[in-house]
Chains A and B, each alone.
Chain A
Amino acid sequence: MKKRTMETSLADHSPKLIRSIERRLFLRQGLSLGALVLLSGCDITDDESVQTVLQGMSRWNDRAQGWLFSQSKLAPEFPESAITKPFPFNAFYSEDEVTLVDGKDYKLELEGMIREKKPWTLPELYALPQTSQITRHICVEGWSAIGKWSGVRFSDFLARVGADTSAKYIGFKCADDYYTSIDMATALHPQTLLTFRFADQILPPKYGFPMKLRIPTKLGFKNPKHIMSMYVTNEYPGGYWEDQGYNWFSGS
């Protein structure tokens, strides 16, 4: 009955007024819906079922990137004049907290599906055939910088130590407690280098002394520094950032 009264009273007003009231209501509802969606964005992401979907899509994106990846597709290389100076430092800690590794005692440990697990000293690694590249380092944050790295072609090193290249993953453990892992196809890419030099100098601590795996076909956080050991495995090893939600493949 009450409703009917309201209809009747509304009918008494000019259509123009009703339309302007409707318009205002619509505007207010539209705004509150938008605000709800946006303000609760953080909570939406943390919701368990939403996380399941987003993680599932991230795994799907790993597979899509695996299919898209071609070993013959080379990252563009640049002239010396294009090198970014100074090259930015980036890690999960600040520059004055950089881990210092003692080169004299250093030995690279090999584990998992590798035939010859003898640890490698730095002089032994430096004696291997070296190659250089000037490529663009792209950070997951969006910025990019061009640098020059030199070292051993990773596929040559894996062949030398008898790594089982039919395995799925190679994992890395680093002196700064960082860890990450990559797919075998990327490990065998001709531009994936186990590097010991940056800008023709022995890697300074902030860029990853004694060695950094340089992968110009992946985002920066997939390029581990201060590598202490590596292992070949078929079990998904994850990674420091990957375990927190960053996409695992993260290919360029």
Chain B
Amino acid sequence: MEAGQQNRMDWVKIHPLVVRITHWINAFAILIMVTSGWRIYNASPFFPFRIPSDLTLGGWLAGALQWHFAALWLLVVNGIVYVSYGIVSGHFRRKLLPITPRAIFRDVREALRGKLAHEDLSVYNAAQRAAYLAIIACGIVLVLSGLAIWKPVQLQEITAIFGGYEGARIVHFLAMALLVFIVLTHIVMVILVPRTLPTMFTGRTRRAS
């Protein structure tokens, strides 16, 4: 009984509800966007390779486009909620800042050596902060370059930022590649530190002590 009470007091909240909900909606939206986007890329590849069809969504180009332009609204609306919440609530400032190149370099190196400490899940190390900030940046670049490809006439000012229609296609693909790399790294890290996974559902973890 006493031990039970002790345990309850040891729980600490680390992920706000808004972050947990938007995280899983985002994961679903990104899975659809990336796999349907690969199918769209395959219709006219500009690099000397295609994505294996089995990894793509939509069955053919029209199906892939339907998925891509449906999930885009989910991604954008969810992204606006997440980023607005992160800025207004101070969540970004508290969890993702401060960050310095030196700290990122140090923590990435330690992570590669398998020595990065993960005792306190309520504080992100510099490698995590860099990854999560990069994911947000990737999302913004993907949405902007996507708009540039979708609307090179009506939104030609955005298309011009990427050096025109063909430039926007390349940027869109490269930002996708970086995003997929970060997401895969993120999943590997969750597999290596599995107790982080339930916290993304419950929002809580045991206090480190």
On whether the beta carbons of B151 and A142 are closer than 8 Å, the reply is no
Are A68 and B63 in touch, CB under 8 angstroms? no
Partner of B59, one of A42, A136, A142: A42
Cα–Cα, bound, A75→B165 (Å)? 12
Query: With A26-B194, A41-B35, A141-B43 in contact, is A247–B65 under 8 Å at CB?
Result: yes
The interface on chain B, measured as residues whose beta carbon lies within 8 A of the other chain's beta carbons, has a size of 36
Chain B residue contacts of A54, Cβ below 8 A: 63, 66-67, 70
Chain A residues, Cβ within 8 Å of B57? 38, 41, 44-45
Find out whether the CB atom of B58 lies under 8 angstroms from the CB atom of A57: no
The total of Cβ contacts below 8 Å across the A-B interface reads 104
Q: How far is the CA of A61 from the CA of B63 in the complex (A)?
A: 15
B191 neighbours in A (Cβ, 8 Å): 23, 26-27, 30
Q: Could you tell me the distance in whole angstroms from the C-beta of B48 to the nearest C-beta in chain A?
A: 15
- The verdict on A166 contacting chain B, using a C-beta distance below 8 Å, is no
In the complex, chain A residues 91-135 whose Cβ is within 8 Å of any chain B Cβ = none
Please measure, in the bound complex, the distance between the C-alpha atom of A40 and the C-alpha atom of B1, giving whole angstroms.
49
Interface check A252, CB cutoff 8 A: yes
Contacts of A22 in B (CB 8 A): 194
**In the assembled complex, which residues on chain A have CB atoms less than 8 Å from the CB atom of B100?**
none
Instruction: Produce 1/0 per residue, B155-174, CB < 8 A to A.
Output: 11000000001100100000
Q: Which residues of B contact A23 (CB under 8 A)?
A: 191-192, 194
Chain A residues contacting B178 (CB-CB under 8 Å) are none
Residues of chain A at interface, number, CB under 8 A: 45
Q: Which residue of A lies closest to B41 (CB)?
A: A142
A73 touches B154 (CB 8 A): yes
A231: CB under 8 A from chain B? no
In the complex, what's the smallest C-beta–C-beta distance from A157 to chain B, in angstroms?
Answer: 22
B44:A139 contact, CB within 8 angstroms: yes
Mark contacts of A47-70 with chain B using CB atoms, 8 A cut-off: 1 yes-contact digit, 0 otherwise: 000000111011011000000111
Q: Does B126 contact A (CB under 8 A)?
A: no
Cβ B156 vs Cβ A246 within 8 A:
no
